Chains A and B, each alone.
Chain A
């Protein structure tokens, strides 16, 4: 069987974004490291480019940091949950093996990376129109940046998972199993992902705090404690 070439990889990428299950199934059998590296490169470029637009409102240095941290967050989440997701896939009867589970989850993140990469010009355009940090409307600028990125990332995430669900429906014996498996993976990824994003903070960069790659004592505290404290402050 001839070694797949770069155009083949780009065609695969298109098929993944289009959700063509019949074309994705053979991809799951590709064990070559080149394909894995290609997916990693897509995540690195797509999320990295988008990440730079997230941090650029605060400062160019923050932009570089966030451009590195968003792909890093995805890689760490994939790696950290690979075993758990594989086991959940088996236990819930998804019809996928350990390696296939990792592959479909990486493909899902690759889809999200493609969408985020395509959103990058729009994100830079929003950034261009956002009141800068040093202006009187600096706090408004921070809020606009936050809301915009939450909406864009949520859209990319939802779409990527929708594609994943379509794939799961093909392998799982029924729709309920497919949905249960997806929700179980989402739960695990959400739990680890939120904590990793807490550790890797800041992404946008608070106007009142210095620009840093990681905050001092990044492992202290967690996202849920901070959320609880914020809710208590409100009440």
Chain B
């Protein structure tokens, strides 16, 4: 496919493999430390390719547990920011719901990601895929932390649940855009050129994560009950919110 016809893709993964003979690196890449949360955090941002490589080794278990911890911490922090629009119960409910939703999305989409990667011809192990998926979510939550001050300022200056919902949605989509490079890196790792099924899976993951906003509603704003009593698809839920006049915190 020509570049002109191809869809825009997330930035390429910076990797730590040695350069070909004769090439000179402007700055030597320091080896990453995967034994601490800070090390994992740095690897996610700077060298996701090296992290993927590490997931195929013996230290996979430790890395996965740290990724889970990172998702918990970052998810809770951003959840508090989300809950700050309404305050009260939402200050603890939003972080709990956000992190729960993230882990449920991972669990629901992991089997299909494994099969889709197989269909793509990628020879990767389940543990590696699990690590990459958690890495993707961790990277998204990490980026959400970066957006947290902006989100907090807006949540303090508006009463509109719709405006805040749209803002959080935009941040989530931007985060996912960068997070997807972890998953795409799996294909690069296994030297698979076919990305067709992965694109389908990405759509599935986006839909599942968006549906979580309806399953765990209200994530922002208030409601008579902590969890919904009526089943709705996310589009219907969003339209209902937009049609409600004077919908505020």
A residues with CB within 8 A of B: 14, 17-20, 114-115, 117-122, 125, 128-132, 135, 144, 155, 159
Q: Is B233 interfacial (CB-CB < 8 Å)?
A: yes
Taking Cβ atoms with an 8 Å cutoff, the residues of B that contact A are 107-109, 111-112, 114-116, 118-119, 121-123, 197, 200, 204, 208, 211, 214-215, 231-233
Q: Is B119 in contact with A122, judged by CB distance below 8 angstroms?
A: no
Q: Which of B112, B197, B233 contacts A119 (CB 8 A)?
A: B112
- A114-B197 Cα distance, complex, nearest whole Å: 15
Q: Is A18 in contact with B231, judged by CB distance below 8 angstroms?
A: no
Which residues of chain A are within 8 angstroms of B215 by Cβ–Cβ distance?
A: 128-129
Closest to A131 in B: B231
The answer to whether A18 touches B121 (Cβ under 8 A) is: yes
The minimal Cβ–Cβ distance linking B199 to chain A, given in whole angstroms, is 13
State whether A117 and B111 are in contact (beta carbons under 8 Å apart), knowing that A17-B119, A131-B231, A159-B119 are contacts in the complex.
yes
- Residues of B within 8 Å of A115, CB to CB, are 115, 119
* A122 with B123: CB separation less than 8 A: no
Contact across chains for A121 and B211 when beta carbons are under 8 A apart: no
- Across the interface, which residues of B come within 8 angstroms of A114, CB to CB? 115, 118
A122 interface neighbour in B114, B122, B208, Cβ under 8 Å = B208
Across the interface, B112 reaches (CB within 8 A) one of A17, A19, A118, namely: A118
- Give the docked Cα–Cα distance between A19 and B197 (Å): 13
Chain A positions within 8 Å of B122 at CB level: 18
User: Which residues on A sit within 8 Å (CB–CB) of B121?
Assistant: 18-20
Complex alpha-carbon distance, A120 and B204, angstroms: 13
Q: Is the CB of A132 within 8 A of B231?
A: yes
Query: 7 closest Cβ contacts across the A-B interface?
Result: A118-B115, A17-B118, A118-B111, A121-B108, A118-B112, A18-B118, A18-B121
Complexed CA–CA distance, A121 and B106 (Å)? 11
- Whether the pair B232, A118 counts as a contact (CB closer than 8 A) is no
- CB neighbours (8 Å) of B232 from chain A are 129
Q: B120 CB to closest chain A CB, in angstroms?
A: 8
Given contacts A18-B118, A135-B231, 12 further A-B contacts (CB under 8 A): A17-B115, A115-B115, A117-B111, A118-B111, A121-B107, A121-B111, A122-B108, A122-B109, A122-B112, A125-B108, A125-B208, A129-B231
Q: Which of chain B's residues has its CB closest to A155's CB?
A: B200
Which residue, of B108, B112, B118, has the highest number of chain A Cβ atoms within 10 A? B118
